[in-house]
Structure 1
Amino acid sequence: MTVSEDASRNDTRSAGDASGDERILLAVRGARDRELLAELLDAYEVIVWERGREGEDRGAGEGEDGDEGAGEDPLPEFDLCIVDMATYSAVADALAERKADAGDRFVPVLLTVAQDEQAVAARRLDDVPDDVLAVPAPKAVIRSRVESLLQTRRQSLQLALYRRAMDSATVGITITEADDDQPLTYINDAFEEMTGYDRSEVLGRNCRFLQGEETDSEPVEKLHEAIEAGESVAVSLTNYQKDGTPFWNELKISPVYEDGELTHFVGFQTDATVRHALKNQLVHETQTLKQLFETSPVGIAVLNDDGIIVRANEAAQEVLGLRRSVVLGQSYDAPEWDLVDARGEPLDHEDLPFDRVRKTGDTVTNFEHGIEVGDERRWLVVNVAPLNGGDGERVGAIAAIEDVTAQKQQERERERLLDLFDQSQKIASVGAWEVDAQNGSVLFTSGLAELIGVDPGDDYDLSDAFSFYHPEDEPRVRAAFERLVETGEEQSLECRLETTDGETRWVNVRGVATQDIDAPVYRGTVQDITERKARSRELERYERIVETTADPIYTLDDNLRFVLANSATADLLGRDPDDLVGEHVSAVFGERHSQALLEAIASLLAGDSAEETIETVVAGQTGSERQFQTTIAAKSSEDEFDGIVCIGRDVTDLHEHERRLSVLDRVIRHNLRNKMNIAQAHATMLLEGTDDEDTRESAAAIERATSELLSLAETARKFSSALDPDVTERVQPQNVADCVRNVVEGARISYPAATITVDAPESAHAWAHSTFELAVNELVDNAVVYGGDEVEIELSVADDDGPEQVVVRVADNGPGLPPLERESIMTGRESPLQHTNGLGLWFVRWAVTNSNGSMDIVDNQPNGTVIELRLPRA
């Protein structure tokens, strides 16, 4: 029986209804026991299941429903299964699968046991059975147990129905516990869709995770008060989806009481974001319109259908020359305003735009008239539009009233003065031009005429004006002017201008479009930028040198002598940049670098490429050698080779890091592959072998291999900070003598059979990486691994032959380090055919290298290995 069939059969069953349709499956071996149970439970439909007859569904006495149990599921459908210990093992898996498939619907299983089977049954209570019944038992007890389990099933079916109803609801539904922090115990699908959270992410949490920085505290406080009082509450607040998207949540919470005790809260959540947005938009638009009305520089008046002013803003009061309290209630044609038309003739009521708007419903624009305000005649431009009510009926008109008195009197003069003023500022110390679009004539100001070397009074057309530009630049100037005419957008470009005396000047040409009375006019300026252009070119040359100041940048002449060098080059060499000028590159960076540059120059001159890159070893001011990658580009003057520009980059640490990563990659891949091959091989033996002794041996092999892998990973973890060769902040002064003594103290405890001695002064301070003590410990561990538990290990700390280094030696009498291992570690790399067995010695080498020290491996006499670590004295 599938879960859906189970749900369909039981969806409408009441939790308290003991239906005769309920099926009890008897999986009991004894025929007599089956008969007694079937007779005792005759109020239910009883089905018998017998081992070996899985294809049959048999009733208590007749074998009814004989085909229902056939198929993949050997068990027929049931509401309660009674199974004894003899049959349990045959049906346990099927029962477990049936219970798992049922989800939150309870599928009860009652296990009957004899007195001597109770101990075994007790262990199985954590498995499939829901109850254990010791038999024989009184009939009343059996019926009670059966009815109790069936009652629980009915309730689970009813709860499942309720849950499906809530899961299918279109509003978010949540259930929380009433105590503690009100953790969520249930959310439906709509809540998941609304918030973007999955059930597994929120169950057990308080709903406050939906709150955010814009959640108002007032509704939250209201929620807290209602929850504290155990009362219903409805609030609207801003919540946040999982991805951070805010939404308006209309939340209603109701308490749930059981036997008078508050146990839970049920929440109903509706996404009201759209409704709130529309509401806020309406409020915002209303406020915006009100603010626009009051702050508009244009007078606005609202008239009713009788032509009476019922509302006016501050600007209307100023335009009409009366206080707002006086304006309101006036008709627009009030006698005190003495309205006149554009000719100064009195205006009748019918001539005003308001009457026309009221009659036709059309908008009237740019209606000009005059009014008398005191002794002043004001000229107004009025735009009037109809106002309609909600039913579409006209209820009045709205008028925009603008005082254009000053504009009317000064419009032409103001436009000329403003244009002259604007152009005067733009053409200060430059020339100006103007093109009349109607006739194509061009006017030059005296400044431009002087720059070109012509008479400012001469007449020019566009063709003449363009001819003054350099032949190579004239097409660009023409194209810019055409764009100006076509788009009206400001144009600006740098180009060359040829004067009448043959001189070429660099200029910046700018043009704008303005509208004159009858046609557009194009005006602009021409600024001489010849000197600025020359300075710009000189600055660009220096910018190419210093644009990457972190790297050495220098230029060499055709004899490879320094011409210029940036500060990074000087810092590298510890010299002043001016001191380098004139020196040959071989005297500064060495003969190998000079020879590599010559080869690169030959390739450049051959035209193979525009630039070449070389890698050489360069000695800095401290004498330490660094690997540099240098990019070379040729300089040319009038198509002749004039030297090179060099940009260097220190790639020493990069290469070292790459080598370390290469080693780490090869070692890890090699070891993981080997160890996993072991694990896989022995795992196969575990799966296929039938001999217990072989199984134990295979398990031990797997355990050893995985232990080695874990040890390898742990070593890598401890030394992770030593992998980066560029990390210097971890190198600090340390008393390495104390570090060695600490290692010896721990090693004697870890390896009691080994003989471990130490010879170290009270203090020996050196610059060492933070992993140095781990490195020494790794050497001791390595000696024990190779030399056995009874190995003899001698550790010593001493000054080197000079005062600049501290030497730490670790010697053992073991079998010695394999030659392959020693060669790989000392060269600092592994080849594809050479693989070492571990990472320990590599990490030791890297820790010492990062300390600016060195590591050496030599043979011990008569046998064993000595590893020397040399560190800079602090």
Structure 2
Amino acid sequence: MFEHGITSVRLHDPETGTLPPTRYSAQARENIADPPIFEDDEGPAGRAFQSQEPIVIDDLPGATGVDYGPVESGMFLPLGEYGVLGIGSTAADAFEEGDAALVELLAITAVSAFDRLERETEMRRVQQALDQLDEKIFLLDENGALTFVTEPLATFLGRESDELRGSSLSDLVPAGEAATYEAALKRVRTSSTRSRETVETELRVGDGDVRPVEFELSATAAESGELAIAGVAHEISELAATRSHLEAERDRFKAIADTTFDLLFRFDLDGRFTYVSSACERILGYTPAEMVGEPFVEYTTTESGSKATAAFESVLDGGDIEDVELDVLTADGEIVTLEVNGTPAIEDGDVVGVHGVARDITERKETLRELQIKDRAIDEAQAGITLADATEPDEPLVYVNQGFEEITGYDASSATGRNCRFLQGEQTDPSAVATLREHIDAYEPVSVELINYRNDGTPFWNHVRITPVRDGTGAVTHLLGIQDDVTQQKRWEQLFEVLNRVLRHNLRNDLGVVSGLGGLLAARQHENSVELGQTIEEKADELLDLGEKARDLEAIAGRDTEPERIDVDSVLADLVTSYRDEYPEVTFDVSVRTDRALCAGGEIEEAVSELIENAAKHNTSAEPRVAIDVRDEGEWIVLSVEDNGPGINDMEANVISKGEEKALEHGSGLGLWLINWVVTRYGGSFQIRQRAPSDAGTQATARLPGLTEDQSVEDVAKRPTILFW
């Protein structure tokens, strides 16, 4: 070059930031065996590349410190971003200023060639890429004529590529869409080359069908400098169908939203309504137009305002709210309760507001309040109320109220899941149970009175009423049970019955005797009138004593049940001292083997007194003895009184132990009835029997609740039991 045979081209490597020797002339290879690689800012080549100015060096080895062999001077010319052209000479000061200008001109030409080569290479790559893409790409000249189309677009249109080139794309747009398409072209022509325009329109294809498409158009410049328009066509048949479906769904949703009883809403980030369904008119008395744009807190009560704001902020933080109850003011100033559920409204990943649904639960709240009142009434009712599942085998209890717990001593956890027969026991009448089962199996209401047993084993009289509960179809789903503790009532009935029978029987018998004896006296038919008079006097005393016992029993029975802590030592000490004085011939042995007190009423002293007096008074043994023993037996205190007298007859024992009073077995021992009444009214039991055949005498046993020092009367006191158990 310019008679200099030593030339080189160093093309820039942007990845390594170097200027490696790319092309060396033959003479250059002869003189420089191992050409160096320069950084793109190193040496004269780097300076020329960075400054984009020619650099001439007259003394190349001296200026660079690089051994270039025989090369003495050099000239380095930038080739734009492509690299550097180097020219060397074996003579010093070989290059003149004119040489540099001329070579620079040549360098500019080389750069232009590089640019053209790069464009051509890029165009070939683009063409190859376009041939591989399944995209409908086209180019329009400034008049809207097609200058290039890809095969996919030609196939879509049902035409050959050559046939399409030179034709106007507007000719393929239906007349009804032409104005929209032309307006888009005009906007592209007048916009910057970087802007993009999107337009939906339609195209006629080869078979005459019309298909929806979306054009992406952008302005570009052709090599000639003229305006060109690049475009991509997207078939949107599926999108159009989907959009049509979504529009139909939107209309359907709007219709649902307008007819649903729930209020649908949407807030912006400031808490203002952007949408409210028409249910607001029915619920609040406002139209949607009145509410849109207004803050939601304008409609809440003061008490609910802070709650509503906290819920709103919670949703803006990305959370959901569920079943938040808010009191809201209507247009008439009334208060309704809304149950609100809400979630964040998200667009492009950002929370832009809140949308949700509000349900008017005012009536439900009122109904629930009434139900809660009824539930409390049922729970707190003195009667026991149960509910059994009639659809499950053996009809297990699924609910019991507090009344049931108090009557039976079973809490809900131990009662539910079981058939109610767990209350039955030894003295439960099988015929009453059979009556219950018969009516339950027939799904008929039934009412019976029977003996049931509490959790502590004590029996009580239970008035049971069972009623089937049916659903809307008439099928029985549950059995409603009501239990009333009628022990007191049954006790009074039995007491009145025994008083009536005993008094009637004894009055009739004894007065009959008195009448007969009086007749003998009047007729002077008996040789010993004194004996007759004594007999009459004895019968009169017996009748008076019987009347007194009846009055005592009735008086004690009429007292209120008032359990208290009774010191058994003190009671026995006073009574035994008194009876030792009254019956000096009787030996009294007392053994108290408990530290606990009795949980009973004050009348228990009268009952114990009656026990001791009976044992002493009727003891005809030569050496009469009465043994009193008090001991612990679990939660009970057992008080036993034994004597060595003639013993109680079977009739009296059966009356007290079994409650048997047949026509010929009327007991006259009302004192024993008094004992039984007092003991059982405090939850205890009383038994009297003949001692073992080898031991003469009677044994009477009373069981009553025991009370330790750290127990309260309320904790230990028991409900009355049946009279005989």
Q: Normalising TM by the smaller chain, what interval?
A: 0.3 to 0.5
TM-score, scaled relative to structure 2: 0.40
Higher relative contact order (CA 8 A, sep 6+): 2
- Scaled by the length of structure 1, the TM-score of the pair is 0.34
